[in-house]
Structure formats: C-alpha cells, structure tokens
Amino acid sequence: MKNRADTNSSDRILAAATKIAQAHGYGGLNVRSLAEEVGIKAASLYHHFPSKADLAAAVARRYWEDAAAMLEALSAEARDPIDCLRRYPTETFRKSLENGNRMCLASFMTAEYDDLPEVVKKEVQTFADVNIAWLGKVLSAAGIVGPREARKRARSIFSAIVGAQLMARGRSDIALFDALIDGYRASGLLPK
C-alpha cells in the first residue's frame, strides 16, 4: 500500500511541478512552494526527488513521454499522415496556450538551457528529438518529402511552431498562434 501512496504523491508532485515549469520554467520551480501547493512538507518532497535537478528531470521525462504517447495516438486516430500534420500544431502546442497561456515545458526550459543541470538538458533535448522524429516519419509517410529531407523539414516545422507559441504567449494572444499556423500553411511549410 505504501508504494501506491508514494506513486500518488509523486504523480501529484509531477503534475504540480509541470504546471509551474510551463508558466515559470526551471528557475521558477521552488521546492518549498511546490510542496505547499501539493500539501506536503518540503522534506517529504525530497523523499520522492532528492534534488531540484532530479525533480525537473522527472518532470521533463514525463512531459516527453506523454508527448510521444499523444503523437502516437494522433497517428492512430487520424491515420492519414496529411491529417496528422494538419492537427499537430493544435493538438500539441496550442493546448498549452489554452491552459492559462502556458508554454510547452521543453520550450520554456530550452530558453534556460545554459542554467540547466545536465540531467535536465538531456530530457529537454529528448522532447525535441521525439517531436522531430515523429514529424519526419509523418512527412515521409505523406510523401511530402523523401527520407533524406524529412529530418530537415521536421526541424523547420517544429521550430516554427515553437516560435509561434512563444510569440502568442508573449502577447497573450492565441489568435496570433492561429494566424501564424495559417501562414505556415499558406507558405507550404505545413499542409493546408
């Protein structure tokens, strides 16, 4: 029974830490404030995550794992690779903006890259790698580009969408995100 309680506490901690990191980044993760928000003592939080770096790495790992699962679910649900590419911006990055004008956690932490512990950097990079690999696979399956060009195009799409999210968040304007995505479609970066 104790393992289940530990798991539930860890899940609550990770969920609260994710929301904080999406709004304030790695620098905004304050262990005492987080413990208070979750309703536990700071010492108890350290039982689950021995350091802030361990906590942030676990948050980033869970974030990319959830993203990978969501992308696979999108592929299974949409089945048509063109439809997957059309839905990608709204099913992923727009959702963060809809949730209290938050950023993609990995994007926020990437902006703090120089100040991140190595273990966190690795997990943040994995988020980008997962998205780029998925985009490359879908671009190839759609016949938009060949396998040699897929990674290059996938990186361009990923960085453009991340940039659109950053601009929209900076103005608290989700309509700006939508307009930028429409512009990417009009220019041919994303399918119409």
79: left (phi over 0), alpha (psi -120 to 50) or beta: left
Task: Domain 56-187: give its CATH superfamily.
Answer: Tetracycline Repressor, domain 2 (1.10.357.10)
Contact 94, 174 (CB under 8 A): yes
pLDDT in the model for residue 167: 96
- Residue 2: the pLDDT is 43
Inter-residue contact 141 to 79 (CB < 8 Å): no
Residue-wise pLDDT for 127-155, tens only, equals 999 999 999 999 999 999 999 999 999 99
φ, ψ (nearest 5 deg) of residue 54: -65, -40
Mean pLDDT of the chain: 92
Residue ranges of the domains in the chain?
56-187
